[in-house]
Amino acid sequence: MTAGAAPDPGREGASPAAHPDWCAPMLATLTDDRFSDSGWIYERKLDGERILAFREGDRIRLMTRNRKDATDTYPELVAALACQPERDFVADGEVVAFDGRVTSFARLKKRLQIRDPDRARASGIRVFFYLFDLIHVAGRNIEGLALRKRKSLLKRTMQFDGALRFTPHRNETGEAFFETACEKGWEGVIAKRATSPYRHGRSRDWLKFKCAKGQELVIGGFTPPQGSRTGFGALLLGYYENGALRYAGKVGTGFDDAFLTQFRARLEKRRRDTSPFDPAPQEPEAIWVRPDLVAEIGFTEWTGQGKLRHPRFLGLRRDKAARDVVREDPQ
């Protein structure tokens, strides 16, 4: 798809603004309320890494949602953005890798630890950048414009081909789209109020319809390996509530042998004498660590005691600060 004539956001009422150094991303709220509404649009929920793309002249930065620089991890995306005719923009999107026709964080995570552009290109893991919003363009702050206008400007501003993709949406038919998403093995759907401005932080103007349960959790300890297993046995997990790290249970599945060995070395550098959880869990063999690493965990449900049922490790997240991890209950 080719971009048309350069859009004039000033005609839409956008105000002049200098190129921003940073924009906190807009975040969706989890809900169990599936609905269809003509005032909302519905996008596929992608299982990848949230990235904000900043271009100011020849300078291009790819930043995670907790402000970590991912530019060297995705050199092919930098090249695609450098080819754009517009030289002043901030765009929001998700970087994904595919396993067949389904986005796979498990596949993408092999790229996340790479910081060298040459190694990233040689990794064999192809990535795509699905853009779904535009925050700043052509010297204008457009976050106050309605979402539909921002998406229209995004589509007209960028050239979408190769690694750069436009995130399509459905109108009105949220429930049917959610059913289709789950049938196809997608992670779910994001419902967005069509008239909403871009808000920095979590908002009920964007809602998550998830096909399966899962969320980020903080690693606060681990157990020793048993039998022939190497590295560690299970990771002890938690989330923050009123400033305290609450214990959510442990996960012992989803690791390969290489990760067990390599991650044990990272855990050793974070060892501490006391439990970071409040209250401390009854885990007599636990080895405690500094709680600054975040894992993506899939599970079937929360138990009545506030623990994970049937958890599985999906990967480490670098795009969320540990202190921002809270229990995601539908609202």
DSSP code at position 173: -
Q: Which two tokens stand for residue 177?
A: 């789209």
Instruction: Categorize the per-residue pLDDT at 280 as very low, low, confident or very high, splitting at 50, 70 and 90.
Output: very high
Question: Once rounded to an integer, what is the mean pLDDT over residues 253-281?
Answer: 96
Instruction: Categorize the per-residue pLDDT at 5 as very low, low, confident or very high, splitting at 50, 70 and 90.
Output: low
For residue 3, pLDDT over 60 is answered with: no
Q: Which two tokens stand for residue 319?
A: 């795009």
pLDDT (0 to 100) of residue 330 = 83
Torsion angle (degrees, nearest 10) of CA 292, 298, 302, 308: -60
Q: Which two tokens stand for residue 232?
A: 């560690």
For residue 270, pLDDT over 70 is answered with: yes
Enumerate the domain spans of the chain.
Answer: 23-210, 214-324
Please state whether the predicted TM-score (pTM) of the whole model is above 0.85: no
Residue carrying the six token digits 């890798």: 97
For residue 325, pLDDT over 80 is answered with: yes
Average the pLDDT over each of 100-114, 169-183, 209-223, 259-273 and give the range with the smallest value: 100-114
- pLDDT tens digit sequence for 307-319: 999 999 999 999 8
DSSP code at position 10: G
Long-range contacts of 110-116 (CB under 8 A, 24+ apart): 111/73, 111/74, 112/49, 112/73, 112/315, 112/316, 112/318, 114/72, 114/73, 115/72, 115/73, 116/72
pLDDT (0 to 100) of residue 106 = 86
What is the C-alpha separation between 314 and 261, in angstroms, rounded?
Answer: 17
For residue 2, pLDDT over 80 is answered with: no
Burial code (b: 16+ CB inside 10 Å, e: under 16) for 166-185 equals bbebbeeebeebbeebbeee
The sign of the torsion formed by the CA atoms of 47, 171, 160, 7 equals: negative
Instruction: Categorize the per-residue pLDDT at 6 as very low, low, confident or very high, splitting at 50, 70 and 90.
Output: low
pLDDT (0 to 100) of residue 263 = 96
- pLDDT tens digit sequence for 142-194: 999 999 999 999 999 999 999 999 999 999 999 999 999 999 989 899 999 99
What is the C-alpha separation between 276 and 9, in angstroms, rounded?
Answer: 49
pLDDT (0 to 100) of residue 269 = 97
What is the C-alpha separation between 105 and 120, in angstroms, rounded?
Answer: 16
For residue 320, pLDDT over 60 is answered with: yes
- pLDDT tens digit sequence for 40-54: 999 999 999 999 999
Question: Once rounded to an integer, what is the mean pLDDT over residues 88-116?
Answer: 93
- 184 catalytic residue (yes or no): no
Residues 6+ apart with CB under 8 A from 112: 49, 73, 315, 316, 318
CATH node for 23-210: 3.30.470.30
Residue tagged active-site, from 45, 151, 208, 213: 45
Question: Once rounded to an integer, what is the mean pLDDT over residues 55-82?
Answer: 97
Residue 291 · residue 239 · CB < 8 Å: no
Whether the ω angle into residue 279 lies within 30 degrees of 0, i.e. cis, is yes
Assign residue 326 a region (left: φ > 0; alpha: ψ between -120 and 50; beta: otherwise): beta
Burial code (b: 16+ CB inside 10 Å, e: under 16) for 75-97 equals bbbbebbeebebeebbbbbbbbb
CATH class for the region spanning 214-324: mainly beta
